[in-house]
Structure 1
Amino acid sequence: MSFSSKTLLSALAGAVTVAAHGHVTNIVINGLSYQNYDPFSFPYQQNPPTVVGWTASNTDNGFVAPDAFASPDIICHKSATNAGGHAVVAAGDKIFIQWDTWPESHHGPVIDYLANCGSAGCEKVDKTTLKFFKIDEVGLVDGSKAPGVWGSDQLIANGNAWMVQIPADIAPGNYVLRHEIIALHSGNQPNGAQNYPQCFNLQITGSGTSNPDGVLGTALYKPDDAGILANIYNAPFTYSIPGPALISGAASIAQAKSAITASATAVTGSATAAPAPAATTTTTAAPAAATTTTAASVDAGATVIVSPGATATTAAPAAGATSTASAPRPTRCAGRDKKRRHARDLGKN
């Protein structure tokens, strides 16, 4: 094999390794599944669908490193821009966050934040003005043996998914949900930690009055925080989760084996919930068949994509907006597949 071929093969193998990190594919609220921004297909579409997840340029499923903690990239991932739609959720309800994959070697905490977007709505808010408060965190579960058992391990055991509860007393309004995994497998060296933030637009309903103080996204962490510059290979050890403290009223949810119906079709008018697909499990607190769910409110004329599957009852969307079942997810970039096939062919030489 030539030097150039070896170099190309090494580079492509590295790209495949990076791509294995993962991203959120969808979130589920009361049986209705909302598609997230897909970094593998949407950047290559002329008119990508309107979704509730913020766009980002992490087409390699990459991360934000500590040397970028003071940059806007740490807020909602690299070059993130506002999602065009938002999902409606009641204070006290749970949100199921589904990742496509997560590597077992990437141990670390799972953290969730909310930030109030104000009256302008999260579709238009300047992300650098958002102040985040922490509503959920799971860090080191067992540090008796290296590298320990972490929130990320619970996420993997739960089918690469995470459940978070919106605080029951939170004031109604427009919020960004910031969901994040921090991988610490290289956290024992400066700039070695890897942050994977994901953001979603929510409209929270209810009669709560709590308006917690928050922290700007660019001030959440410092590169030398004890929870960032951390050695997970010297057991036994303890760990301090980085970022602000949990707010009063934050709820802790047991993650192991919990799940929720992960597919539903938004329809208008009255309908009853159909049985979940055979491959889907449900939580013990599954929504009742007659439950009414708001699919999403978006700018007039826009469409929010939800996943096909079981039927859920929905309220009428905002004026001019529609909610529709998506077609099957587009295949990943053909160029990426060609590169992978080419890398395999080179390996045979």
Structure 2
Amino acid sequence: MLFTITLLGVVSTAIAHGTVSSIVANGVFFEGYNPSYQYITPAPVTVGWKIPQDLGNGFIAPDSFATSDIICHLAATNALTAAPIEAGKSLELLWTPWPTTHKGPVLDYLANCNGPCETVDKTTLEWFRIDAVGLIDNSLTDGYWATDQLIADNNTWTVVIPPTIAPGNYVLRHEIIALHSAASANGAQSYPQCVNLAISSSGTATPAGVLATTFYSATDPGILFDLYGTFTSYTIPGPPTYSGGVTISQTLPPTPTASATGVYTV
């Protein structure tokens, strides 16, 4: 068994792209899900939805966009706890190192579980998009994208929970769509990640949502896209962003200005 686990670990490292390893909500750190947790007894209880079949940190291809795998990733099952957060507050999602070549948009959706998210049927969740960032600057070679900004911010993405939504138990669906192979049919790569949130709020809005299996088509201009061709703009795929959503500028690390002048001693 030890050999099998080690071999799987090697395979995972060789073809890995990325997963959300943890989140920070209201300043509190919460574990995301790691597929290796399935080998731990008892398995850690996380706010991240369980994806034990994603040992390779892989993706969902366009030919699976109409299947349940697009909801929260490959054969995902419910997280068994939730992170509390107030509407209007920021949530940080920390990724494992993201490849610089995997450029594309970053998108965030919410779905109200209308009850416990720990037992909700994921195929019934209706999602509304709360933010989406795609091409930021087209003057650079292959463009400067949301993923470049995520990498520059220490593989972290910040999302604001809309202040107007009603309180309740929600699933946050956070997603990167990598476009490095998207010029070919079935080449785009979706990396959806889900976490459970218990949102407190004085808001009352209940935005209409749609099923995740209806988000994208394989021929959408934002899915079938030549990253290495000539382009001046990019159309983010999927439903429109909720009018109460808040898209913020991600915080980039400051430019170092200090210089060492000596050796510190006590």
TM-score by length of 2: 0.89
1:198-250 deviation digits (Å, cap 9, x = unpaired): 00001111110111111101111111111100011123421100111111111
Among candidates 105, 121, 127, match of residue 132 of structure 1: 127
Alignment RMSD = 1.8
Among candidates 53, 68, 78, match of residue 64 of structure 2: 68
Among candidates 68, 73, 77, match of residue 73 of structure 2: 77
Partners in 2 of 1:66 and 1:91 — Cα distance?
Answer: 33
Contact 2:170 / 2:199 at 8 angstroms: preserved in 1? yes
The answer to whether residue 85 in structure 2 is matched with residue 89 in structure 1 is: yes
Contact 2:128 / 2:207 at 8 angstroms: preserved in 1? yes
Among candidates 240, 255, 259, match of residue 235 of structure 2: 240
Contact 2:94 / 2:155 at 8 angstroms: preserved in 1? yes
Give the drift of 1:93. Answer: 0.6
- 4+ residue segments displaced more than 6 Å: none
Partners in 1 of 2:162 and 2:12 — Cα distance?
Answer: 39
The equivalent of 2:193 in structure 1 is: 198
Partners in 1 of 2:233 and 2:143 — Cα distance?
Answer: 10
Q: Secondary structure at the match of 1:257?
A: coil
The answer to whether residue 52 in structure 2 is matched with residue 52 in structure 1 is: no
**Rg comparison, structure with higher value:** 1
The equivalent of 1:113 in structure 2 is: 109
1:41-93 deviation digits (Å, cap 9, x = unpaired): 21212320111110012111101111000110000000000000001111101
The equivalent of 2:15 in structure 1 is: 18
Aligned ranges for residues 229-308 of structure 1 at < 5 Å?
229-257=224-252
Give the drift of 1:114. Answer: 0.2
The answer to whether residue 204 in structure 2 is matched with residue 209 in structure 1 is: yes
Partners in 2 of 1:136 and 1:221 — Cα distance?
Answer: 16
Among candidates 97, 102, 120, match of residue 101 of structure 1: 97
Specify whether residues 258 and 237 from structure 1 end up closer, same or farther in structure 2 by C-alpha distance, changes over 3 A only: same
Among candidates 139, 145, 149, match of residue 144 of structure 1: 139
1:310-343 deviation digits (Å, cap 9, x = unpaired): xxxxxxxxxxxxxxxxxxxxxxxxxxxxxxxxxx
Partners in 2 of 1:78 and 1:34 — Cα distance?
Answer: 22
What is the letter of the counterpart of residue 233 of structure 2? Answer: T
Partners in 1 of 2:172 and 2:248 — Cα distance?
Answer: 17
What is the letter of the counterpart of residue 247 of structure 1? Answer: Y
Partners in 2 of 1:221 and 1:238 — Cα distance?
Answer: 19
Partners in 2 of 1:13 and 1:38 — Cα distance?
Answer: 15
The equivalent of 1:346 in structure 2 is: none
Give the drift of 1:13. Answer: 8.6
Q: Secondary structure at the match of 1:85?
A: coil
Structure 1, gaps ≥5 residues long: 1-11, 260-349
The equivalent of 2:33 in structure 1 is: 37
Partners in 2 of 1:211 and 1:15 — Cα distance?
Answer: 40
Specify whether residues 148 and 165 from structure 1 end up closer, same or farther in structure 2 by C-alpha distance, changes over 3 A only: same
Aligned ranges for residues 154-165 of structure 1 at < 5 Å?
154-165=149-160
What is the aligned-residue identity percentage? 52
Partners in 2 of 1:82 and 1:16 — Cα distance?
Answer: 25
The equivalent of 2:165 in structure 1 is: 170
The equivalent of 1:226 in structure 2 is: 221
**How many matched pairs?**
246
Partners in 2 of 1:52 and 1:16 — Cα distance?
Answer: 23
Partners in 1 of 2:141 and 2:92 — Cα distance?
Answer: 29
Give the drift of 1:255. Answer: 0.7
Give the drift of 1:258. Answer: 6.4
The equivalent of 1:329 in structure 2 is: none
Partners in 1 of 2:183 and 2:10 — Cα distance?
Answer: 25
